[in-house]
A and B are shown apart, each in its own frame.
Chain A
């Protein structure tokens, strides 16, 4: 550790090596939870979005009900219902499921994944239905079947239209993950709350954690800008 940091750490009561480690562990938990839930959410959102655009109400209806339920209720309530609800199922403690759901991590991951999947489904659905008719008609004129059309034309073009809205969803998910601390997960916010209550120093504890969230957001914004530049490079003026 560089000397000036060590010196600075010596001068204050709150940011000792121990609390910095607590923040670090919190950051690891936050990143794990958010990353995994986003990956799971996105993987399930793509097929669900395709089903959601189906003209058959028996196919699109259930997906609509799912996205409506999870977008229509606060994530905190969903987390409470899943975390405490699972523990109330009679006899669950004797089954192997309890090994998974005893710890708060998996109930939280489940709640976050279901929530972000619902939003992502609607984002992708919006992008799919706004595919220009001309593109689809041209694909049909080439004799492409439904699957090939989806894979070659609709989904790539929808991805370009969805990426900006999706980058917002990713950042919202990062910030929403702050509620994981209410089910005893020591994420970034949980670490800040513990440190605040130990030192009665709300400003230091929470401003520091806000800066950490901002740093994570910056990384996300930067990554999405790169991705947008890559996906939308055909829209740039020639020569730039």
Chain B
């Protein structure tokens, strides 16, 4: 009898699963809040931000009812696999390790790396000759580290830091000539102070940030990709982006 109940409930669960997976008229999206300006609560307590607005536009495009679920970052992928929600829309960068467990859509944004230095700095950060002998600070293991090592390894001295704060301190203390860091981090911690400036243009690195879904939900991924593509082309994406950023994060 017990076995029968177990078997029956398993069959029921599977049936429910397939029914739910069929039409995608209801999609549950997970966000880790707050992560300004991507997702946060405004003064009225309403969920808002770049990713929230983009998700709303995407749901409209898909003609789907979207439910927003708040989930802490460290339980993000387990929660997805446990079917607490259907997709992660929370600044998840594409990495090989994550791609083994989840299905990524096409990327929908990428934060560039920015070059920042003290006011006196005059070298061109794209020129190997001018960067010779300079001291560059990067955060260890970031895409900026990889890029700087490929471009200037052996030409300039590259110092690797664990935290951005330590690196900014050494830029202030003149141990570094220039730092190459996540653009938003540099904008907040370096440009907000007197005597520093941005040098050269921001560089887009890495594979970008994408919607993460369960591996089996290929149909949902196709729909999401189509919707994101349309939003990127019809100007909706640009309008939302300009609301939150004064630099380009589109990919």
Contacts and interface: CB of A to CB of B under 8 A. Distances in A.
Contacts of B172: 87
Contacts, number: 37
A180 to B, nearest CB: 13
A194 B160 contact: yes
B162 interface: yes
Contacts of A184: 159-161, 170
A84 interface: yes
Contacts of B170: 84, 87, 184
B140 A102 contact: no
Contacts of A98: 174
B166 A182 contact: yes
A197 B140 contact: yes
Contacts of B166: 84, 182-183
A200 interface: yes
B165 to A, nearest CB: 10
Interface string A71-99: 00000000000001001100001000010
Contacts of A234: none
Given A182-B166, A184-B159, A200-B97, A84 B173 contact: yes
A184 B157 CA distance: 11
Contact of A87 (B146, B159, B169): B169
Interface in B121-153: 140-141, 145-146
A84 B141 contact: no
A193 B162 CA distance: 10
A198 interface: yes
Nearest to B161: A184
A78 to B, nearest CB: 16
Given A182-B166, A184-B161, A197 B141 contact: yes
A202 to B, nearest CB: 11
Interface string A191-216: 00110111010000000000000000
B230 interface: no
A172 B97 CA distance: 36
Q: At the interface, is chain B mostly helix, strand, loop or mixed?
A: mixed
Given A184-B160, A184-B161, A193 B140 contact: yes
Interface string A168-198: 0000000000000011100000100110111
Contacts of B141: 196-198
A194 B145 CA distance: 10
Contact of B173 (A87, A196, A197): A87
B101 interface: no
B175 interface: yes
A228 B56 CA distance: 75
Nearest to B174: A93
A175 B24 CA distance: 56
A194 B174 CA distance: 23
A3 B15 CA distance: 60
A116 B113 CA distance: 41
A93 B159 CA distance: 19
A194 B169 CA distance: 21
A194 B140 contact: yes
A192 to B, nearest CB: 11
Contacts of B162: 182, 193
Interface of A: 84, 87-88, 93, 98, 102, 104, 182-184, 190, 193-194, 196-198, 200
**Nearest 8 CB-CB pairs, A to B?**
A197-B141, A87-B173, A184-B159, A93-B174, A197-B140, A84-B169, A102-B175, A194-B160
